[in-house]
Amino acid sequence: MPQFIASFRLPTAILCLVLLAACQTTGRPGLIKSEVTAELTPEAASAIAQDMGGKLAEQIGPGNTTIALRENDTVFGPTLEASLRGRGYAVVTDQATEGAAVEPLAYTIDPFEGGVLVRLSASRIELTRVYTLNGTGATPASPLSVMQRRSAAPS
């Protein structure tokens, strides 16, 4: 009986390692899913969209790239889209973009230490900032965090 149990130790250990490794990956390359888990007023959504849209424009200039916005809510997504269009970006949401230079963009807004943590994620860059919500909208409560991704080398 002890040999029978011992013969299952290695396969069980390998299975556990594989399952743990799977927890560390999303399973596919790409962007995060756009999601807003924090309660936002239209004023707060507008203030955040204006600020983050401006910061995105500093990093990825408008005019030569179409933004493919992955919207998933009724307050922030349309406000961000309007902010990007106002800065000169061409923005598509559900349209086909065959043959165009497209930069996918997703966002998350989550509650964080009495405020909200906002993240804009594109294929080349990720912008993150904390905001404090107030009666007139939202104000930045942290410096902007910019993470640039290197593009994969051609093989």
Domain of residue 141: give its range.
32-148
Total domains in the chain come to 1
- Is 24 among the domain residues? no
Tens of pLDDT, residues 32-72 = 778 788 889 999 999 999 999 999 988 887 777 788 887 76
Cα distance between the two ends of the chain? 52
Average confidence score pLDDT of the chain: 78
pLDDT beyond 80 at 126: yes
* Per-residue confidence (pLDDT) for residue 61, from 0 to 100: 77
Dump strand ranges (E) for 10-112. 35-36, 66-69, 90-92, 102-112
Q: Which residues pair with 116 in a beta bridge?
A: 111, 131
- Is 4 among the domain residues? no
